[in-house]
Structure 1
């Protein structure tokens, strides 16, 4: 009975999110993270926290890798196939998709790679604010379009953990132990003493004195966040850990250590007051684009707009609007390379215009093995319920979506 109930619910979910034959897809806005990049830290620094040597990337720190570009092109090809089938993109017109990226190598290179698959045969032009400038969609405080009240943001973060970061951190001890076992390559945590090595559990929880535009957090979660992201990037890039002596590293072990990164990201970036500071300008531009307003990214003519940013971009936008998602092999809310929030504007057969949102991402095996993405073998996709907007069908009326965004954003 339980299996039958689960199958019935799954079938209902598919039916509820399948467009009616008479529905018309009018516009799509994709807010995506860049593709697979090299680790931000040097191998030498990462090796201070591991018992085994660290893989070497062939590109500078933080740059999109060759495999990352190939994976992004595969994703772009999938978007093309999907939206051709749904009638949004037709023929070989090269002006149908507009590309906007933050001013970093990995975001610009990702947009170009996506375009190779999404706009085949076209000269892909990636738009940005220009070298040396700050893009308010990604860094609104630095750009001067939003003022950060760091004290209030810190109070909001502190309020979510009962004013006790140490107690909040202690709740993640199982994940800390799993990461210690993986990094120090022992059978059971705590692993034997390793002279000269930094250990996850040695980091002390607290607020950072050197806060950025919002709130800085220190402790095991912050330490682990960078390390596990580096593991994820190297794994997705196809790096050979086994030849370097690593044992037990795979999708299952990665899933066990991802919670530390997610806990830190959720607290630091998805706290509503923090997300309001960081994502209000972006949310306003996304709404204008979906509504064909005067501030639409790419103007009114683009049928599809690709906005390429970072994991923090999606985390704060999700926190601002209360969006939640889960993909197989990842933690709830996790944003892997190439992961994207997709907002589709549909005109239903009853004349109503609605937004249908989802999160889509390549699975770990699709990333590592560079698997082709097709309509028959798609990336993972998670329909999203928009609080205070979505109906039982998951349709979110466009006018109500506008009201939700306007109520959420910073003045």
Structure 2
């Protein structure tokens, strides 16, 4: 077995153990908010368009671009069933208590279908609706700028991003040259990048770094942005069971995929986790999450709901993580990567000493669990790790964050 594989197995065992961490005697779980990315979707581009960026053809999906796949829905239901087992064991949920859960989704097919798939596993036999703002509307939690609830300074957002890149996006991108050449070798299927010229092909090597004007607060071009879309499509096809070997691809395995994700995360981190950008894009949804956990002015769902599921996108989790300065890493993924169906889980506990605290975790299926659609149980859980919230978390095993202190931290940011 490769050393990297042995290390990953040890890390996986440690992280999986954290998901089964036992709360101290006398602590009581009161409320949970699960902020989840949607499940496995079809690539946003057609196989033909993706084929322009690789030497081999791409697997086809059984649904239109961007839609949740059948396997994607199945794997979200497995996650929902795992949460049902977990929170039943914690005493939060009881069989047949349909009103204990509430579901909210952004207005896309994949997020609405994801929330519905969660309900099948989390509250089976119940007719819980998936709540949204309605077709054709912009949800302020997910699209605060388009919905008109915040008006950030776009020039300042660009300056903040450029500042994190040392004021020179070209130089920042050049620092990733090795990873760009590795991705080129993977896509063009040569022994070592950069690969020989390939007329008619789109290459990460040829993408020019810079800002792109558009509706988004910040959009980037360059090898990292090019890689972001392509490697996300690789991840989705892999998780959906795509037959890469049958299409002539070589070297497509978990180790290779993990390496290809580096550029995607570099682009995501710079574009979405820059503090000013995260403040503008995540302030509203993070406030709603805290209000839901702590009976604030604008909670999601009825007061009797003990568990609230919010189905959004990887960008949703990225900006919330950026706003609260949270970091996480799961084996098989890059730091702060957000795989399909992964979630930031916020739990409100009443400790035995009378203090109410938030315990945050990042939870998601491993590459192997996604590929095999592995059933999940308390004995065989998804990967999970506790998340530290700077300025709030304390030196306790689950990084307890007092609710009152979290409100102060969020107000400052």
* TM-score with structure 2 setting the length: 0.94
Q: Which position in structure 1 is the counterpart of 2:323?
A: 320
| Contact 1:33/1:314, CA 8 A, preserved across alignment | yes
Whether 1:396 aligns to 2:401 is: yes
Q: Which position in structure 1 is the counterpart of 2:4?
A: none
| Contact 2:18/2:385, CA 8 A, preserved across alignment | no
| Contact 1:116/1:124, CA 8 A, preserved across alignment | no
Give per-residue Cα distances to partners, 1:173-219, cap 9 Å, x unaligned: 121111111110111111111111111110011111x2333111110
Q: Secondary structure at the match of 2:167?
A: coil
The separation in 2 between residues aligned to 1:364 and 1:172, in whole angstroms, is: 24
The separation in 2 between residues aligned to 1:336 and 1:64, in whole angstroms, is: 14
| Contact 1:344/1:356, CA 8 A, preserved across alignment | yes
Shift of the alpha carbon at 1:407? Answer: 1.4
Q: Secondary structure at the match of 2:197?
A: coil
Query: Against the structure 1 CA distance between its residues 61 and 14, is the aligned structure 2 distance closer, same or farther, given a 3 Å change threshold?
Result: closer
The separation in 2 between residues aligned to 1:213 and 1:146, in whole angstroms, is: 13
Q: Which runs of 5+ in 1 are unaligned?
A: none
**Structure 1 residues 88-107: aligned runs within 5 Å:** 88-107=92-111
Shift of the alpha carbon at 1:91? Answer: 2.5
Shift of the alpha carbon at 1:399? Answer: 0.4
Whether 1:288 aligns to 2:275 is: no
Give per-residue Cα distances to partners, 1:313-339, cap 9 Å, x unaligned: 000000001010001100000000001
Whether 1:143 aligns to 2:147 is: yes
The separation in 1 between residues aligned to 2:349 and 2:126, in whole angstroms, is: 26
Query: Against the structure 1 CA distance between its residues 14 and 95, is the aligned structure 2 distance closer, same or farther, given a 3 Å change threshold?
Result: closer
Q: Which position in structure 2 is the counterpart of 1:371?
A: 374
| Contact 1:17/1:383, CA 8 A, preserved across alignment | no
Shift of the alpha carbon at 1:120? Answer: 0.8
Q: Secondary structure at the match of 1:55?
A: coil
Shift of the alpha carbon at 1:299? Answer: 2.6
**Number of aligned residues:** 400
Whether 1:113 aligns to 2:117 is: yes
The separation in 2 between residues aligned to 1:15 and 1:271, in whole angstroms, is: 29
Whether 1:174 aligns to 2:178 is: yes
Shift of the alpha carbon at 1:124? Answer: 2.6
Runs of 4+ off more than 3 Å? 13-18
| Contact 2:142/2:285, CA 8 A, preserved across alignment | yes
Whether 1:42 aligns to 2:76 is: no
The separation in 1 between residues aligned to 2:21 and 2:336, in whole angstroms, is: 20
The separation in 1 between residues aligned to 2:289 and 2:273, in whole angstroms, is: 18
The separation in 2 between residues aligned to 1:44 and 1:260, in whole angstroms, is: 23
Q: Which position in structure 2 is the counterpart of 1:347?
A: 350
The equivalent position to 2:133 in structure 1, one of 119, 129, 134, is: 129
The separation in 1 between residues aligned to 2:131 and 2:19, in whole angstroms, is: 37
The equivalent position to 2:236 in structure 1, one of 233, 236, 245, is: 233
Q: Which position in structure 2 is the counterpart of 1:307?
A: 310
Whether 1:75 aligns to 2:75 is: no
Q: Secondary structure at the match of 2:98?
A: coil
The separation in 1 between residues aligned to 2:142 and 2:261, in whole angstroms, is: 24
Shift of the alpha carbon at 1:384? Answer: 0.4
Q: Which position in structure 1 is the counterpart of 2:256?
A: 253
Whether 1:356 aligns to 2:333 is: no
The equivalent position to 1:262 in structure 2, one of 254, 262, 265, is: 265
* TM-score with structure 1 setting the length: 0.95
Q: CA RMSD in A?
A: 1.7
Whether 1:31 aligns to 2:35 is: yes
Q: Which runs of 5+ in 2 are unaligned?
A: 1-6
Q: Secondary structure at the match of 1:49?
A: coil
| Contact 2:26/2:351, CA 8 A, preserved across alignment | yes
